[in-house]
A and B are shown apart, each in its own frame.
Chain A
């Protein structure tokens, strides 16, 4: 099993947390994993991207046109990072309108749930639900239970499950 995933967003949306969850989920499933993250200045509201490579890879970066799946926390980034996806690559996007099968208004769902910060987990749940990720919901929940700070665990799980249950 080999899978290449990009997680795209803007600084502050929790791209790094989603990246870490996916990496930990790979370990949970007994797979090799390599990721690459954006730190530093760009985290102040700039465009950020993480690469997640599950399986026997040596390079932490994904080349143009090689990603199997893209999680877009910020719809505007489609124009910036879509090029990482294979032509047949799957895109899951947080978008307030559109309604195509791959989009979900994770920001609205998270806000209604009472915590904007879990929009990233709503999108992750939505993506897991579609069944194309290397890992299943149980693996993600196990990771969330392991790495969430105590105070945020309930909210994180709820956010993830809201995404999982959507449509």
Chain B
């Protein structure tokens, strides 16, 4: 029976946030990104609930978040920074040096991996990054364990003065489980930065010494019995075979072995600290077992440390080298490893509905105008809800945060080098992405004389990850007021001379602005034209209530040409195959009225318009 008073159902990210607050974290910084987004908001919520006075912030990007948290640690206070796995690429520069210099107050970097991937541009393994950066990395298998590892990571970090990575995956971040909650430890660590230039400034002459010190720390951590893999013994009837697993792959394997009955009663080791792997364990495994199966996501990090050959895993082709290790995939691997008959093949399932911009989304209106105005244009775009513009031909590239602006410049130079004509390049970027990594690209594009149209899709939020505020909103993570930083000011400060702000719902005005911008970039004195397409995200209830609502209908003038379906892709416009005509799904239509522009037969009607 569970103790009701202490148990709460927490998502993995909430369990991590709860752990940070309970364990005396004094500063938490993050940039939102699936599957890590809920960690920081949980820190804020639990700190408020328990009366803990810590600093929590949505930083402008992961690099800044990491640097801010590192300084708090240098001042002797427990610190955490949270991001998705590709956020660690952005924070790589401060983090890789932090292992050499070490930390003072416990420092945890949470990098949430996304095997699959479900909502990311790569499925890279942050444990491999930890190996490269020489940081210890914990690999939790459940929300509850992720919470426990927060305490272990802080203790390890302080004992060795080393930054520690906690690497949950999507299936831990977005799992819910009953987790015991306790009162937070009182915050005792006062800020106290002890100057030490040889360490905190560390010019190259100091670095060999610091590197040696780091290697020695890792050697000692690898000998700590506390981090030896945990054995769940079998029944002794299969003495020469075992499974070594980590993360959620361990959770799947553990449950699957149970379902296999006597056949599944074999030794199962859980690796909790994936790197550095417990050194004595490596010898023990080689000595005691003839057949070893390694199950881990997403790359062969444990396998690599066990040494070449001799294990069943990715190297031997027994485990797929890409994609998520789902329970179904692991079952097939286990059955083969244990010489059991394969499970019956699953029935083929249809693919689900692809995601689409919401009915009434301002991005759709902007994309429609862009594509209709420049049918031969090139459309670099970026990461956010607006990547979905690819569904109707308004997004040609999506690379990494902020890349679209550098790409816009690159496409211009590719075509225009030597004075050749160039297609109109319309770059689209979201407001949060512009703050994150768009500004250096824009300065560079202006200075290097690129010519393109940059459309900043400003929906006044970071929509896809759950509506975190941007600096322009003037609201901090804890709800307090911050000084607003305005996008138009930033655009002008980057050297841009042609700037217009238009609501894309006004398709005619927006189209006219696009044409004007095209004239500017092609004029002798032209360079970059920026349009800020401002329309608040309609998921924001207050914003939605403030806008006019039309009653939409499709008249008998509909000729069944499907233009509205193919060029606009609004989820509220359905095609009735039997009647060969389009219809409005009144359950989903929010009455924005934009679709009246897309019907070549003028069959879409908007009535009313009262807010």
Shortest A75–chain B CB gap in Å is 12
**Contact, CB under 8 Å: B251 / A59:** yes
Shortest B297–chain A CB gap in Å is 13
**Contact, CB under 8 Å: B327 / A41:** no
- Which of B205-213, B218-226, B351-359, B484-492 lies at the binding interface? B351-359
B328 contacts the other chain (CB 8 A): yes
**Contact, CB under 8 Å: B174 / A39:** yes
**Contact, CB under 8 Å: B9 / A37:** no
A58 and B142 in contact, given A33-B178, A39-B34, A63-B328 (Cβ under 8 angstroms)? yes
B350 contacts the other chain (CB 8 A): yes
Give the complex CA separation of A128 and B536 in angstroms: 39
- Choose from A19, A38, A46, A61 the contact partner of B176 (Cβ within 8 Å): A19
Residues of chain B within 8 A of A77, CB atoms compared:
352
**Contact, CB under 8 Å: A39 / B35:** yes
**Contact, CB under 8 Å: B119 / A80:** no
Shortest B353–chain A CB gap in Å is 5
Residues of chain A within 8 A of B255, CB atoms compared:
57-59
A44 and B388 in contact, given A27-B4, A39-B119 (Cβ under 8 angstroms)? yes
Annotate A76-88 by CB proximity to B: 1 below 8 A, 0 otherwise.
Answer: 1101111100000
Give the complex CA separation of A32 and B179 in angstroms: 10
A59 and B252 in contact, given A77-B352, A80-B350, A83-B347 (Cβ under 8 angstroms)? yes
**Contact, CB under 8 Å: B356 / A45:** yes
Task: Tell me the A17-47 residues at the B interface (CB within 8 Å).
Answer: 19-20, 23-24, 26-27, 30-47
A111 and B352 in contact, given A19-B176, A30-B1 (Cβ under 8 angstroms)? no
Residues of chain B within 8 A of A81, CB atoms compared:
349
Residues of chain B within 8 A of A34, CB atoms compared:
142, 175-177
Among B118, B354, B355: residue with most chain A CB under 10 A: B355
B254 contacts the other chain (CB 8 A): yes
B513 contacts the other chain (CB 8 A): no
Among B34, B251, B349, B388: residue with most chain A CB under 10 A: B349
At the interface, is chain B mostly helix, strand, loop or mixed? loop
B282 contacts the other chain (CB 8 A): no
A114 contacts the other chain (CB 8 A): no
B18 contacts the other chain (CB 8 A): no
Give the complex CA separation of A43 and B467 in angstroms: 13
Give the complex CA separation of A76 and B376 in angstroms: 36
B542 contacts the other chain (CB 8 A): no
Give the complex CA separation of A41 and B346 in angstroms: 26
**Contact, CB under 8 Å: B142 / A42:** no
A43 and B327 in contact, given A36-B171, A116-B587 (Cβ under 8 angstroms)? no
Task: Tell me the B134-171 residues at the A interface (CB within 8 Å).
Answer: 141-142, 171
Annotate A104-138 by CB proximity to B: 1 below 8 A, 0 otherwise.
Answer: 00010001000010000000000000000000000
Give the complex CA separation of A37 and B465 in angstroms: 14
**Contact, CB under 8 Å: A33 / B353:** no
**Contact, CB under 8 Å: A64 / B171:** no
Residues of chain A within 8 A of B34, CB atoms compared:
39-41
A11 contacts the other chain (CB 8 A): yes
Annotate B463-475 by CB proximity to A: 1 below 8 A, 0 otherwise.
Answer: 0111000000000
**Contact, CB under 8 Å: A63 / B118:** no
B2 contacts the other chain (CB 8 A): yes
Residues of chain B within 8 A of A57, CB atoms compared:
255
Give the complex CA separation of A162 and B4 in angstroms: 30
Give the complex CA separation of A79 and B328 in angstroms: 19
Chain B interfacial positions (CB closer than 8 Å to A): 1-2, 4, 7-9, 11, 34-35, 37, 118-119, 141-142, 171-172, 174-178, 248, 251-252, 254-256, 326-328, 331, 344, 346-347, 349-358, 385, 387-388, 464-466, 571, 587
